[in-house]
Amino acid sequence: MARPAAEARNSCLTVSVKQAKALIYHNPGEPKDVLSLHSHSISPPHSDLVTAKLLAAPLNPADINTIQGTYPSQPAFTTSLSTTQPAAVPGNEGVAVVSAAGSGATSTSGIQKADWLIMKAPGIGTWRTALQAPSSHFLKLGEQDREGITPTQAATVSVNPCTAWAMLRGWTGSGAIPPDSNRGEGLKPGEWFVQNGANSGVGRAAIQLARQWGAKSINMVRSRPGGDQETAKLKQELHALGADVVLTEDEANAKGFSDRINAEVLNNGRDKIKLALNCVGGKSALNQGKILAPGSTQVTYGAMAKQPLSVPAGMLIFRDLRFAGFWVSKWAENNASEKMRAVREVLGLIREGKFRDVPMNEIQWDWGTEEGVLRDAVQGTLEGFKGGKGIFVFGET
């Protein structure tokens, strides 16, 4: 009797890996100019090494910035993949299934064949069919963690949702915002926060987590290129996720914005906005500051507008606003247990149907997929107003 397709595929995924393909680059530049597909062999793992086949790996903005050479954290360029020149593999996030593990990996980390792994910290390089690395580079998803979870859901849980989770919980940089009488250890039930880039992966995650925790959100988005109808559709989509208020950047730029929010949203000032999440910068960030309560905090985790954050002295002197940054890469590196706590909470919400995936554009990667298809998919992420997050989904590799 023939085995069911799913069983056959799972068996295929956990067979020993001897060959792999990876997108690599030798020098920083535009993806279309520097990425190439490289084949290499993989030796059986020994000691604490783990060999794993990738199931899915997303294409995040930080990955593109890394290839371009503009991201603060850069990978090591080596000849470990038997390249003639030193090369690096992009991709900071993904999920892989263990095909083989050295005895040390099993004894120290409990990692064994068929386990699912996510990346403990960025820089490992996930845009490849298979990888081999020390067990300390991974976080294991146990059977309970991955029950009812798809590879694309597991592959996208450790960056955007964890960023939202950590900032709403009160983390900045690689440490925590010092607690005070207003904030405690993060947003409390009933408290408000404001965010721009609300349609992003982090924005959508923040909306849903806040709703689960009883907090309320004001969400700023760009007007859609299709006009008012398309913008209204986006607003409805975010409301369906749990957003309390959704407005455009144009509305935030309008005269009387802060008075309108105070009267229509904040109960004539009786409610307060305690936290702002900023991934845009420029005027959008300044508009957030106008509606924050005295003593509140704006956390910057991105700069999509590529404009500086100019803070009027009055916001610092008379309203005592705090301005901080957050870098999920450093946070994850220094707080592995907190990251795993966030991952498990989000996966649990997904399993219960209380957390929706971001829209995704799946890019199928099989052994025979051509280099140009993969390179064009990466380059395509630079286009504005995309319909979904790009993600490599690995098939027969």
Q: pLDDT (tens digit, 9 = 90+) per residue, 88-132?
A: 999 999 999 999 999 999 998 999 999 999 999 888 999 999 999
- DSSP code at position 319: S
State residue 397's pLDDT score.
86
Q: Is 71 a catalytic residue?
A: yes
- How remote is the C-alpha of 73 from its chain's centroid? 16
State residue 1's pLDDT score.
40
State residue 8's pLDDT score.
40
Contacts of 284 (CB under 8 A, 6+ apart): 196, 220, 249, 252, 278, 305
Residue range 311-370, pLDDT digits in tens:
999 999 999 999 999 999 889 988 889 999 999 999 999 999 999 998 999 999 999 999
Amino acid type, 375: R
Inform me whether the pLDDT recorded for 146 exceeds 70. yes
Q: What is the share, in percent, of the chain residues with pLDDT greater than 90?
A: 80
Q: Where are the alpha helices (DSSP H) in 300-388?
A: 313-317, 328-334, 336-351, 371-380
Catalytic residue among 13, 24, 60, 71: 71
The residues facing 117 across adjacent strands are 96, 140
Name the residue with tokens 């409390």.
188
Best CA proximity match to 396, nearest among 4, 1, 8, 2 = 8
Average pLDDT over the chain reads 91
Of the listed ranges 159-173, 183-197, 214-228, 348-362, the least confidently predicted one is: 183-197
Amino acid type, 376: D
State residue 121's pLDDT score.
83
Contacts of 58 (CB under 8 A, 6+ apart): 93, 94, 155, 156, 159, 360, 389, 390, 391, 392
pTM of the prediction?
Answer: 0.91
Of the listed ranges 16-20, 133-137, 272-276, the least confidently predicted one is: 16-20
